[in-house]
Amino acid sequence: MLGRSQLRRALEAGAEYDGHQPEDLFLHWDDEDMYACICCGGPFEHVDHNVPLIRGGSHTLDNLVPLCEACNTSKQGRCPYRFYADRFPGLRPWLEPYFDLHERLTDEELEARTQAVND
């Protein structure tokens, strides 16, 4: 779920943060009708950075989404567009143009971000 450790990791990774509080996130999800895992519709158990921190994602309301344990585990730090294309093959033609959007980091940049997030 949502905790201070997630915020700490985001700030240590240099992610943009909009100052939201946990209750703001749930109000935002309510406004967007997000009551379950956005991938499978199951009960959400994790707050996920849609664009992972290691790929330059922000810790903002618009980048936080609900995922169940299974979807969260399978997504990990993957590019969201590749992940959704794998989960929903019918969407692949529309998502493929965005595959490289969050993969433009060099190996060194990705390693540095991974290290910052894991420390």
Residue 86: the pLDDT is 94
Res 102 pLDDT > 80: no
pLDDT tens-place string over residues 54-82: 888 899 999 999 999 999 999 988 889 99
pLDDT tens-place string over residues 18-61: 999 888 999 999 999 999 999 999 999 999 999 998 888 899 99
CA 34, CA 53: separation in Å to the nearest integer?
A: 21
Q: Is the Cβ–Cβ distance between 59 and 53 less than 8 Å?
A: yes
Q: At what angle do helices 107-118 and 4-12 cross, to 10 degrees?
A: 140
pLDDT tens-place string over residues 76-96: 888 899 999 999 999 999 999
Q: Where are the domains of the chain?
A: 4-113
Domain 4-113 CATH assignment equals 1.10.760: no
- Residue 49 host element (H or E): strand 46-49
Res 1 pLDDT > 60: no
Whole-model pTM over 0.85: no
- Three-state SS at 22: helix
